């Protein structure tokens, strides 16, 4: 893929720019801040999209506004010529592709052209700058080798960055000889807690003597227990005799009472059974009475349901009723508005409705009205014009008379007119007298006289020969003038008397007299003009007075208004409005009649609806709140029907329960009879009497058994010697037991004191807290160890992946890189290899090996560039992108730069290079390259 042209609509500081790129090498030159980086970013962002606002990258939106984005014109071996246009839209911009065949494309097609490459992958292979080369100086050997490895394999830079990040995170968690990592800190904390726990255990050992004394007390208490048991046995034997004596007496009394009772067999559990049957019979009897009362109460409840089908049908049509009511209300409101509007218009036209409806407001009459109005207006305008013209002419006549009167007040005197007439007669004589005086005072030059006569003769001859008669005539006149001058050249001594008189009377007054002549002539002309204007004005007034003035249009207009029923004195503009109002009144009347018909129809439908609802509800309903009443009736009938159904069900249930209760009562009575028969009793009183005797006999038997059991529990009591002996032995035994009890109390008090003292040593709880902290720290240490282990496993997997990339992809790239490296170093180094430890080494021509970190900065940069160019060349078949470089060779000396230029010149035959620089020397170093000065980029206009 090669870029042919950049078309920038608006990107950063560039706007409406067009840049043509060379298919092999283009040098884009510009000073700092000229916008070179902006152009570079325009290429990358147009291909891969604008960065989102949360990314730490500039979007280069136009500072001066305008359209954001532009086009890249590219040529691709698979897709041909394609125009890639990206403009502002979604976050990455809206992209459109234009193919040679006229078809269009989208972001999906662009991904196919870019071979699914993203920006990071593109920049890691096909774009690099001086900043990346300058960073090589501060790297150690491992970082340098990793960077070179990433530059020689696609995807290695991302893997390397991940490995570096994980190693940093692992170093934060654990470092073998570190003190600040988290695992190291947890181990130190566990050691301190373990020491504290040992101290607490040492303090606990102090309470052992107290524990030994407690054991001695417990041993003595056990011995005392044996003694107390022996004494207690003797005491109990004596007490048994005392206890057995009343039992024996009571046994004898019970035997005597049992012999007096006449008891026979009785039904088992007879009393309880009889009580139970009596209770059940009472309950059954009470239930029968209650059920009979409930059944009697339900007899008065209604049993017939009411019909609800008609109401359900009406409720189903409720929306139709509301629609009908709404339409009826709307039409009534509308007809009311029409009536109001008609009233307003009728008051405006000053007629009643019947008169307004009789008026003919057809379009024909409207045209006639407008014609009459126009003719009447024109007639009035002509009359006003005639009156205005007469007034103007009279004003002009009055002004002309005043002006003539004022002008005549300045009329010249008769003396001035006479003097002017005399001057007009004497003026020619004065001119002759002055001419004669001038001739007398001076002679004409002889030379002029001879010249005129000579030229006249010569010109006459030429005119005759050439048949130029005008020239001949002019020449004759010139000769005559010369002869006259010769004749007049003779001097006279005095002027004639007539000339002297004229000169004496008018000499020196020529200007004054000529001014007087002009004044009189101007006055006469002005007077004639004023008189002519005065006469013309009089004639115009007479003409205007005699002109006829018509009234026909106005009379026709008034008659037409009378036909319409409108006052003829109404203004014409108002008449037109009234005509429109009459038409609107008639239109409203038509609408009102239509609405009246609709209202009558809707009213009839509403009345039918209301009649149906009233029939369904069995009562007269009002139109207002109709459906509220229907719903209330429907709800009441539903409740009634539910009550009827419930009442019937309740009656059936009560009947069933009553029959069941009566059957139960009969059964209970039968069971009572059987129980009386078993007991041999005739009635309940006799039954309970027999039951009492039987129960007493059973109780005596139980008491006898209980006494026998008590006597058996006391053992053999016949060995006791008598009451007095038993009483004395008991007192002695009690004294001994009291002494042992006092001793026991003392020992127990001492034991409690010793135990309390021992517990005090452990009562503060610090040991448990320390122990809990110790366990928590152990858990934190286990979590950190698990986290470190996971990162360690990921790092190991990354290293295995890097080893695979080294083994599979790197050899193909490093072969070409070795050749490029040798060319760039002027064959000073023959090879660029990777040693078994994974570090790059440069092999000098003499076989000496150097670690990459041992090389100079420029040589490191040459190695880096060799690998990057080799990788780009190796991807020509799969990803043939242009190589974009931002001043990476500016620090090379002349020799190294020339080697670099030679290599790029060799590679540019198959690859496009775009080189950005701010140094003029770079332009001179590439004389055959296409040089593009950013400052001279031409503008282009794009919509």
Domain ranges of the chain: 1-117+879-943, 382-441+496-564, 444-490
Task: Please list the helix, strand and coil fractions of the chain in percent, rounded to the nearest 5, in that order.
Answer: 70, 10, 20
Give the chain's radius of gyration (CA, Å): 72
Please report which confidence band the pLDDT of residue 73 belongs to, taking 50, 70 and 90 as the band edges.
very high
Q: Give the Å distances, CA to CA, from 408 to 411, 412, 415, 519, 526.
A: 5, 9, 17, 14, 10
Residue 359 and residue 609 in contact, taking contact as beta carbons nearer than 8 Å:
no
Residue 881 and residue 122 in contact, taking contact as beta carbons nearer than 8 Å:
yes
Query: Average pLDDT for residues 767-795, to the nearest whole number?
Result: 74
The residues, any chain, with a CB within 8 Å of residue 779's CB and separated by 6 or more, are none
Collapsing DSSP states into helix, strand and coil, what is residue 650? helix
Question: With 60 as the cut, is the pLDDT of residue 142 above it?
Answer: no
Scan for tokens 């286990």, then name that residue: 782
Sign of the alpha-carbon torsion through 539, 540, 542, 547: positive
Q: In this predicted structure, what is the pLDDT of residue 724?
A: 44
Q: In this predicted structure, what is the pLDDT of residue 763?
A: 60
Question: With 80 as the cut, is the pLDDT of residue 927 above it?
Answer: no
Q: DSSP letters along 499-557, please? A: HHHHHHHHTT-HHHHHHHHHHHHHHHHHHHHHHHHHHHHHHHHHHHHHS----HHHHHH
Residue 514 and residue 381 in contact, taking contact as beta carbons nearer than 8 Å:
no
Q: How far apart are CA 412 and CA 523, in angstroms?
A: 8
Q: In this predicted structure, what is the pLDDT of residue 10?
A: 92
Q: In this predicted structure, what is the pLDDT of residue 74?
A: 94
The residues, any chain, with a CB within 8 Å of residue 126's CB and separated by 6 or more, are 872, 879, 881, 882, 883, 884
Q: How far apart are CA 485 and CA 482, in angstroms?
A: 5
Q: How far apart are CA 485 and CA 671, in angstroms?
A: 198
Query: Average pLDDT for residues 558-579, to the nearest whole number?
Result: 66
pTM of the model: 0.37
Please report which confidence band the pLDDT of residue 55 belongs to, taking 50, 70 and 90 as the band edges.
confident
Let me know how long the chain is.
943
The percent of residues above 70 in pLDDT, for the chain, comes to: 77
Higher pLDDT pick, 47 / 199: 47
Structure tokens of 741? 């009890």
Q: What are phi and psi of 915, to 5 degrees?
A: -115, 125
Cα 56 versus chain centre, distance? 23
DSSP one-letter code for 939: B
CB atoms within 10 A of CB 252: 10
Higher pLDDT pick, 465 / 71: 71
DSSP one-letter code for 841: E
Scan for tokens 């109460």, then name that residue: 297
Cα 783 versus chain centre, distance? 43
Query: Which of 176, 68, 46, 64 lies closest to 942 in space, CA to CA?
Result: 68
Q: In this predicted structure, what is the pLDDT of residue 720?
A: 46
Angle in degrees, CA 71, 75, 80, rounded to 5: 115
Structure tokens of 768? 């448990």
Sign of the alpha-carbon torsion through 190, 191, 193, 198: positive
Query: Average pLDDT for residues 370-393, to the nearest whole number?
Result: 71
Cα 609 versus chain centre, distance? 54
Cα 157 versus chain centre, distance? 38
Query: Which of 1, 2, 10, 80 lies closest to 45 in space, CA to CA?
Result: 10
Please report which confidence band the pLDDT of residue 939 belongs to, taking 50, 70 and 90 as the band edges.
low
Q: How far apart are CA 110 and CA 726, in angstroms?
A: 121
Higher pLDDT pick, 429 / 699: 699
Angle in degrees, CA 888, 891, 894, rounded to 5: 110
Tell me the sheet residues that pair with 831: 843
pLDDT tens digits, one per residue of 518-564: 887 888 888 888 888 888 888 777 776 766 555 566 666 666 666 66
Collapsing DSSP states into helix, strand and coil, what is residue 55? coil
Query: Which of 928, 805, 833, 816 lies closest to 876 in space, CA to CA?
Result: 816
Q: Select, from the ranges 53-57, 254-258, 732-736, 916-920, the one with the highest average predicted confidence (pLDDT).
A: 916-920
Please report which confidence band the pLDDT of residue 721 belongs to, taking 50, 70 and 90 as the band edges.
very low
Q: How far apart are CA 585 and CA 591, in angstroms?
A: 10
Q: Considering all CA atoms of the chain, what is the largest pairwise distance in Å, rounded to the nearest integer? A: 231
Residue 820 and residue 907 in contact, taking contact as beta carbons nearer than 8 Å:
no
Q: DSSP letters along 774-791, please? A: HHHHHHHHHHHHHHHHHH
Q: Across the beta sheet with 25-29, what order do the strands follow?
A: 127-129, 883-886, 913-917, 25-29, 930-933
Question: With 50 as the cut, is the pLDDT of residue 941 above it?
Answer: no
CATH top-level class of 1-117+879-943: alpha beta
Please report which confidence band the pLDDT of residue 488 belongs to, taking 50, 70 and 90 as the band edges.
low
Q: How far apart are CA 146 and CA 553, in angstroms?
A: 111
* Mean pLDDT taken over the chain: 76
The percent of residues above 90 in pLDDT, for the chain, comes to: 7
Please report which confidence band the pLDDT of residue 60 belongs to, taking 50, 70 and 90 as the band edges.
confident
In this structure, of 203-212, 633-642, 701-710, the range with the lowest mean pLDDT score is 203-212
Question: With 50 as the cut, is the pLDDT of residue 491 above it?
Answer: no
The residues, any chain, with a CB within 8 Å of residue 850's CB and separated by 6 or more, are 841, 842, 844
Q: In this predicted structure, what is the pLDDT of residue 397?
A: 80
The residues, any chain, with a CB within 8 Å of residue 212's CB and separated by 6 or more, are none
Structure tokens of 67? 């359209």
Tell me the sheet residues that pair with 184: none
pLDDT tens digits, one per residue of 610-666: 888 888 888 888 877 877 888 888 788 888 878 888 888 878 888 888 888 888 888
Please report which confidence band the pLDDT of residue 799 belongs to, taking 50, 70 and 90 as the band edges.
low
Q: How far apart are CA 537 and CA 540, in angstroms?
A: 5
């Amino acid at each position: 893929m090669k870029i042919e042209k950049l078309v920038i609509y608006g990107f950063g500081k560039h706007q409406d720019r067009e840049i043509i790129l060379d298919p092999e090498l283009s040098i884009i030159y510009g000073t700092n801040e000229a916008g070179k980086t902006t152009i570079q970013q325009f290429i990358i962002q147009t291909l891969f999209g604008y960065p989102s606002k949360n990314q730490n990258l500039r979007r280069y939106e136009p500072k001066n506004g305008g359209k954001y984005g532009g086009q890249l014109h590219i040529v691709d071996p698979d897709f041909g010529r394609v125009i890639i246009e990206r403009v502002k839209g979604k976050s990455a911009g809206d992209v459109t592709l234009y193919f040679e065949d006229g078809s269009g494309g989208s972001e999906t097609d662009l991904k196919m052209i870019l071979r699914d490459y993203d920006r990071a992958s593109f920049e890691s292979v096909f774009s690099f700058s001086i900043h990346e080369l300058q960073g090589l100086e501060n790297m150690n050997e491992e970082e340098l080798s990793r960077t070179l490895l990433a530059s020689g394999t696609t995807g290695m830079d991302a893997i390397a960055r991940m490995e570096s990040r994980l190693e940093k995170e692992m170093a934060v968690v654990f470092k073998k000889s570190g003190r600040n990592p988290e695992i190291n800190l947890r181990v130190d904390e566990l050691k301190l807690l373990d020491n504290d726990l040992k101290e607490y255990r040492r303090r606990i050992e102090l309470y052992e003597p107290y524990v030994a004394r407690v054991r001695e007390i417990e041993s003595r208490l056990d011995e005392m227990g044996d003694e107390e048991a022996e004494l207690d046995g003797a005491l109990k034997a004596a007490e048994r005799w005392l206890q057995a004596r009343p039992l024996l007496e009571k046994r004898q009394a019970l035997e005597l009472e049992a012999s007096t009772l006449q008891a026979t067999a009785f039904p088992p559990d007879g009393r309880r059974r009889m009580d139970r049957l009596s209770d059940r019979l009472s309950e059954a009897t009470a239930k029968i009475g209650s059920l009979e009362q409930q059944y009697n109460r339900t007899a008065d409840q209604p049993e017939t349901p009411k019909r609800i089908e008609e109401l359900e049908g009406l409720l189903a049509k409720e929306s139709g009723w509301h629609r009908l009511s709404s339409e009826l209300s709307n039409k009534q409101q509308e007809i009311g508005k029409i009536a109001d509007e008609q009233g307003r218009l009728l008051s405006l036209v000053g007629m009643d409705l019947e008169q307004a409806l009789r008026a003919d407001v057809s379009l024909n009459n409207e045209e006639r009205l407008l014609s009459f109005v126009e003719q009447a207006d024109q007639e009035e305008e002509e009359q006003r014009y005639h009156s205005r013209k007469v007034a103007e002419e009279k004003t002009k006549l009055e002004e002309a008379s005043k002006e003539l009167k004022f002008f005549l007040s300045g009329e010249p005197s008769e003396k001035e007119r006479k003097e002017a007439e005399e001057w007009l007669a004497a003026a020619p004589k004065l001119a002759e007298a002055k001419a004669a005086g001038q001739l007398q005072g001076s002679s004409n030059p002889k030379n002029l006289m001879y010249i005129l006569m000579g030229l006249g003769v010569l010109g006459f001859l030429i005119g005759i020969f050439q048949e130029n008669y005008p020239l001949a005539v002019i020449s004759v006149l010139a000769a005559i003038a010369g002869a006259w001058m010769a004749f007049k050249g003779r001097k006279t001594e005095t002027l004639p008397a007539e000339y002297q008189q004229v000169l004496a009377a008018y000499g020196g007054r020529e200007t004054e007299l000529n001014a007087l002549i002009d004044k009189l002539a101007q006055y006469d002309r002005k007077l004639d003009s004023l008189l002519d204007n005065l006469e013309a004005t009089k004639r115009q007034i007479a003409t205007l007075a005699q002109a006829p003035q018509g009234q026909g249009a106005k009379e026709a207009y008034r008659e037409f208004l009378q036909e319409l029923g409108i006052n003829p004195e109404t203004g014409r503009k108002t008449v037109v409005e009234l005509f429109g109002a009459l038409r609107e009144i008639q239109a409203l009347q038509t609408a009102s009649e239509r609405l009246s018909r609709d209202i009558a129809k809707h009213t009839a439908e509403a009345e039918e609806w209301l009649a149906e609802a009233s029939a369904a509800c069995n009562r007269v309903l009002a139109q207002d709140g109709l459906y509220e009443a229907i719903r209330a009736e429907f709800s009441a009938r539903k409740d009634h029907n539910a009550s009827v159904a419930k009442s019937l069900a309740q009656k059936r249930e009560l009947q069933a329960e009553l029959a069941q209760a009566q059957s139960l009562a009969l059964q209970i009575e039968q069971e009572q009879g059987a129980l009386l028969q078993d007991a041999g009793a005739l009635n309940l009183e006799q039954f309970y009497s027999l039951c009492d005797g039987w129960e007493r006999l059973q109780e005596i038997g139980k008491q006898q058994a209980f006494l026998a059991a008590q006597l058996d529990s006391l053992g053999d009591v016949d060995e006791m010697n008598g009451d007095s002996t038993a009483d004395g032995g008991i007192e002695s035994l009690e004294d001994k037991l009291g002494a042992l009890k006092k001793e026991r109390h003392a020992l127990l008090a001492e034991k409690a004191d010793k135990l309390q003292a021992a517990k005090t040593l452990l009562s503060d709880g610090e040991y448990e807290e320390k122990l809990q902290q110790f366990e928590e720290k152990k858990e934190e240490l286990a979590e950190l160890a698990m986290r470190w282990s996971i990162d360690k496993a990921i790092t190991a997997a990354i290293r295995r992946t890097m080893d695979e990339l080294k083994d599979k992809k790197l050899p193909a790239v490093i072969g070409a890189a070795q050749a490029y490296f040798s060319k760039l170093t002027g064959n000073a180094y023959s090879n660029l290899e990777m040693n078994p430890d994974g570090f790059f080494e440069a092999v000098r021509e003499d076989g000496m090996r150097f670690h990459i970190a041992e090389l100079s900065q420029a040589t490191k940069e040459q190695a880096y560039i060799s690998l990057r160019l080799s990788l780009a060349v190796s991807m020509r078949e799969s990803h043939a992108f242009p190589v974009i470089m931002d001043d990476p060779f500016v620090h090379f000396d002349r020799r190294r730069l020339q080697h670099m230029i030679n290599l790029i010149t060799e590679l540019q035959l198959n690859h496009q290079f775009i080189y950005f620089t701010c140094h003029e020397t770079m332009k001179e170093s590439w004389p055959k390259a296409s040089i593009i000065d950013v400052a001279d980029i031409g503008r282009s206009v794009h919509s």
